A and B are shown apart, each in its own frame.
Chain A
Amino acid sequence: MSEEFKVEIVNPEKSFLVKDDVSEVVVPAFEGEMGILKDHISIISFLKPGIIKILSKSGDENYYVEDGIVEFKNNNLSILTSTIFNLADMDKSKQQDLLKQAEEEANKTDINDQSKYLADQKVEVLKTLN
């Protein structure tokens, strides 16, 4: 039996990525990183800013996401997100731009705790990339 399952990443504009030979996906779930293997129990969770790692035979891929929802059911993993970038396509200047935005957001004083936490997370993740 193969140990592979299907992953689909969708953003509002289009279906971003479909792969059906994935062996493991690590998603930055809200309560900590979560690795998903084949035959995982059906789960719904949402994401915080971080890196999605997709491990497959054809090579590993890393994506940076800012938010989203994951749904896993019947060995189908769906990730809905509004902001996603492939790390391989992301150059330094893009990273800097995002980091600057995130820092500005994190330094705002009039936001609530949750947005503050998310903004801090963004800054942290982006800093580790550089």
Chain B
Amino acid sequence: MASLDDLKKRIASVKSTQKITKAMKMVAAAKLRRAQESAEKGRPYSEKMNNVILNLSNGISDKENAPKLLSGTGQEKTHLCVVMTSDRGLCGGFNSNIIKKAKSYFLKILDEGKELKIITVGSKGNDQLKRVYGDKIVENISFKESKNANYFDADKVGKMVIEKFEAGEFDVCTIFYNQFKNVITQIPQAQQIIPLNNEGEESSSEESYEFEPDEDEILSNLLPKNISTQIFKAMLENSASEQGSRMSAMDNATRNAGEMVDKLTIEYNRSRQAAITKELIEIISGAESL
């Protein structure tokens, strides 16, 4: 059995860990509220954008010559995957869940004999992926400096994706992120953004629009913006998910630390009692032998 001194030290160390996890939980809770708010505020923009694009793509007359961002390059040889993770750890299964989802997709792609390219956003995803898929990662971006998800950062990623698309480096682009459902549940998502996949979605109105300039020109202007918007939406969802996941992870950790302290305290008391009893027996048997 560990000595009394050792037990005491362990109790102290578990207690200080508990303090840290508790503080992290509080911070995550505060950040979560803000992240959730901005995710909600960001929704109208992406919804409206989606709507406009839907109306436009329905109105487009010449489907054959539609912009490539909408209709694709006509082949599916090279896949680009944008894997969005956090920059910080200690957030439970948040990053692993995205990576798991992404890896199963990668396997599928590679099995089909297609080419794979990866962009990682956030350093944690890069850390996990570079061991196995190091040679596939073409770009690694991290926004450690920026405090909150902002559109400027998303735009940077979006522009990079479009640049690569225009240079003919890939045919299909998919983004991976965690969709925020509630504090306990985050659903890893794979969303295809190039070519835009909105089949099955019905336009909200049958009304015809007037376009100025024509559909093609507006579309080719709008689609790149839509890429950035989708990425921004993913970033917002991700940051809410990250904080939610961290909050529940830290809540669990705090509870576990509490249990551990209880257990160790009992053990400490027992050993103390055992030591006292032992001493007493020694004294009594010593006195008896006289």
| A and B bind | yes
A45, B211: Cβ atoms closer than 8 Å? yes
A69, B222: Cβ atoms closer than 8 Å? yes
From residue A7, how far is it (CB to closest CB) to chain B in Å?
13
B222, A46: Cβ atoms closer than 8 Å? yes
A42, B209: Cβ atoms closer than 8 Å? yes
B211, A44: Cβ atoms closer than 8 Å? yes
Interface residues of A in 4-18 (CB under 8 A from B): 10-15
A31, B213: Cβ atoms closer than 8 Å? yes
Contacts of A129 in B (CB 8 A): none
**B64 in the interface (beta carbon within 8 A):** no
From residue A44, how far is it (CB to closest CB) to chain B in Å?
5
Cα-based distance from A14 to B150 in the complex (angstroms): 11
From residue B235, how far is it (CB to closest CB) to chain A in Å?
10
Cα-based distance from A12 to B44 in the complex (angstroms): 8
From residue B207, how far is it (CB to closest CB) to chain A in Å?
5
Cα-based distance from A29 to B211 in the complex (angstroms): 11
Cα-based distance from A69 to B212 in the complex (angstroms): 11
**B41 in the interface (beta carbon within 8 A):** yes
From residue A77, how far is it (CB to closest CB) to chain B in Å?
12
Pick the most buried of B154, B210, B212, B228: most chain A CB atoms within 10 A of its CB.
B212
**B123 in the interface (beta carbon within 8 A):** no
Contacts of A71 in B (CB 8 A): 48, 51-52, 55, 209
Contacts of B225 in A (CB 8 A): 67, 69, 82
A42, B210: Cβ atoms closer than 8 Å? yes
Interface of B is mostly: helix
Annotate A103-117 by CB proximity to B: 1 below 8 A, 0 otherwise.
Answer: 000000000000000
Cα-based distance from A93 to B46 in the complex (angstroms): 32
Contacts of A29 in B (CB 8 A): 212
Cα-based distance from A31 to B213 in the complex (angstroms): 7
**B208 in the interface (beta carbon within 8 A):** yes
Interface residues on A, range: 20 to 34
**A41 in the interface (beta carbon within 8 A):** yes
Contacts of A34 in B (CB 8 A): 212
A18 to chain B: closest residue by CB: B44
Cα-based distance from A43 to B248 in the complex (angstroms): 47
Interface residues of B in 12-47 (CB under 8 A from A): 38, 41-42, 44-46
- Of B52, B155, B205, the residue contacting A80 (CB under 8 A) is B52
Contacts of A63 in B (CB 8 A): none
From residue A48, how far is it (CB to closest CB) to chain B in Å?
10
**A73 in the interface (beta carbon within 8 A):** yes
Cα-based distance from A42 to B38 in the complex (angstroms): 30
**A78 in the interface (beta carbon within 8 A):** yes
**B49 in the interface (beta carbon within 8 A):** yes
Interface residues of A in 39-53 (CB under 8 A from B): 41-46
- With A69-B52, A82-B151 given, is the CB distance from A13 to B211 under 8 Å? no
15 contacts between A and B (CB under 8 A): A10-B48, A12-B154, A13-B41, A14-B42, A31-B212, A42-B207, A43-B209, A43-B210, A44-B209, A44-B212, A45-B218, A71-B52, A71-B209, A80-B49, A82-B225
B-contacting residues of A (Cβ < 8 Å)?
10-15, 29-31, 34, 41-46, 67, 69, 71, 73, 78, 80, 82
9 tightest A-B CB contacts, nearest first: A14-B41, A12-B151, A45-B212, A43-B210, A10-B45, A42-B209, A12-B45, A44-B209, A10-B44
A-contacting residues of B (Cβ < 8 Å)?
38, 41-42, 44-46, 48-49, 51-52, 55-56, 150-151, 154-155, 205, 207-213, 218, 221-222, 225, 228-229, 232
